[in-house]
Amino acid sequence: MNLFADSSALAKRYLFDEKSNDFDGLLQQADSLAVSVLCLPEIISALCRRLRERFLTKSQYAAAKAALESDLADAAVVTAGGCIRISGQTSMCRGKGCRSQSGTALDIGPSGARLR
């Protein structure tokens, strides 16, 4: 299974809530992960806020940030102006003919993700 996770979904891996186990189950089933280019800064911002609010210690923050960076090392990163095609089906498209103004698109199929 190919999985696209937005920041709020992926953050559940680092900031536990009642849906964290559900998302971890999906992630375990996934063959590939795609995230928005905004995912890293948005989750880091959420971690910083939790640190400021004293919901996380400095060591918990550092561990969560390292885990996030590790998880994203192999993820496909989607830009805001791109197009996502999952197994041939258009899931999100900006621009004409499933091509963005920047001319990039992300194809996610059974063999993984690739930019075109």
Cα–Cα distance for residue pair 21/69, rounded to 1 Å: 20
Annotated domain spans of the chain: 1-78, 81-116
**AA letter at 86:** I
pLDDT at residue 102, as a whole number: 43
Cα–Cα distance for residue pair 59/62, rounded to 1 Å: 5
Cα–Cα distance for residue pair 23/9, rounded to 1 Å: 7
Length of the chain: 116
Q: What percent of the chain is modeled with pLDDT above 70?
A: 68
User: Which tens digit of pLDDT belongs to each residue from 7-31?
Assistant: 998 998 898 888 788 888 888 898 8
Residue 107 has pLDDT above 60, yes or no: no
| Domain 1-78 top-level CATH class | alpha beta
